[in-house]
Amino acid sequence: MTETFSIGEALAAPFRVIRRHPLAVFAWGFSACAFSLLTSALMFGALADLPLMEAGRAEPPPELFGRVMALQGLSMLANLGQLALGVVIWTATMRATLRIGRPDRYFFMRAGMDELRIGVVGIALFLGAYVAVIVLVLLGIAVGAVAWQANEALAIVLGFIMALGLIAAVIYAMARLSLIAPATLILQRFAFVEGWTLARGRMGSLLGLLVCTWLIYMAVYFVLAFFAIIAFFASGAFAHMQALGDAITFRDILPSPGVLWTLVAVVLLPGAFVYGAVMTLLCAPFASACRQLLDGSPQGALES
């Protein structure tokens, strides 16, 4: 086990995965996008023939409530399916990072014990963080209420400081817990203790890796958002939205078939690759860092 890891090697890992396994990256994104489009189409299709609320009508049509209630079960199943697929893709990105250059006929996607363990780890970390944030928020509200009784200005300043402290605590926790999932995959057992221990004494490097990863992510996000807005206006979808006043049913909200299929093609082709690349960008650096810390193998050596 090495004492530290190379941030440069960790940041280079997702780009190596994208370069060496572009089809796998596309497959990850395609799976997620296709599933989302399919569930959206099913839900919208169930409501397509229902009339919209008329101008001046106080209540929606009565059949809408029954149809919406019927869709609740489908929505829950879709959420569970999306969660399971997210775990499979998350595990696949880390598995590909640990096996860069090795071919895999299933694009590193599995449905086995690794995915089950990663899913349990993810749910446990989410629930733990959720409960901790709620407790801290409630504690902050209580302290703020007491301070407000004494001095309103002091309460405002104290509230601002506590908000910053909460943000800092969340960022610190994200960095401290970031190696648990990769360690679980590498060691093939629940590695809560090992992942926590690996992060001890390396918080500076992990925080730096987290910040760099999110800066790259935000840069990619803003560039993509810019082109998405341009494509939105160029496709005529904005003009269609302006004409929604004449819509009678939910089906009338949809754009023309040509525009709709163009949007679907964009989501399933370049959009799928972008989604897979973003997932790789967010997951691969920490898998690389964990691998370096556990056995001292620099990420570049994995390409041989």
Per DSSP, the residues of the chain read: --S---HHHHHHHHHHHHHH-HHHHHHHHHHHHHHHHHHHHHHHHHHTTSBPPPTT-SS--HHHHHHHHHHHHHHHHHHHHHHHHHHHHHHHHHHHHHTTT---TTTT---SHHHHHHHHHHHHHHHHHHHHHHHHHHHHHHHHHHHHHH-HHHHHHHHHHHHHHHHHHHHHHHHHHTTHHHHHHHHTS--HHHHHHHHTT-HHHHHHHHHHHHHHHHHHHHHHHHHHHHHHHHTTHHHHHHTGGG--BGGGGS--HHHHHHHHHHHHTHHHHHHHHHHHHHHHHHHHHHHHHHH---GGGGG-
Please report the pLDDT score of residue 233 as a whole number.
Answer: 72
Q: What is the pLDDT of residues 49-62, one digit of tens each?
A: 666 655 445 566 66
Question: How would residue 19 be classed by pLDDT, with cut points 50, 70 and 90?
Answer: very high
CA dihedral 302, 185, 95, 112 (to 10 degrees): 140
Please report the pLDDT score of residue 272 as a whole number.
Answer: 92
Cβ neighbours, 10 Å, residue 221: 12
Question: How would residue 43 be classed by pLDDT, with cut points 50, 70 and 90?
Answer: confident
More confident: 234 or 187 = 187
Closest to 100 in 3D by CA, of 280, 269, 279, 294 = 280
Please report the pLDDT score of residue 211 as a whole number.
Answer: 94
Please report the pLDDT score of residue 185 as a whole number.
Answer: 96
Is 60 exceeded by the pLDDT of residue 244? no
Q: What percent of the chain has pLDDT over 90?
A: 55
More confident: 61 or 112 = 112
Is 80 exceeded by the pLDDT of residue 174? yes
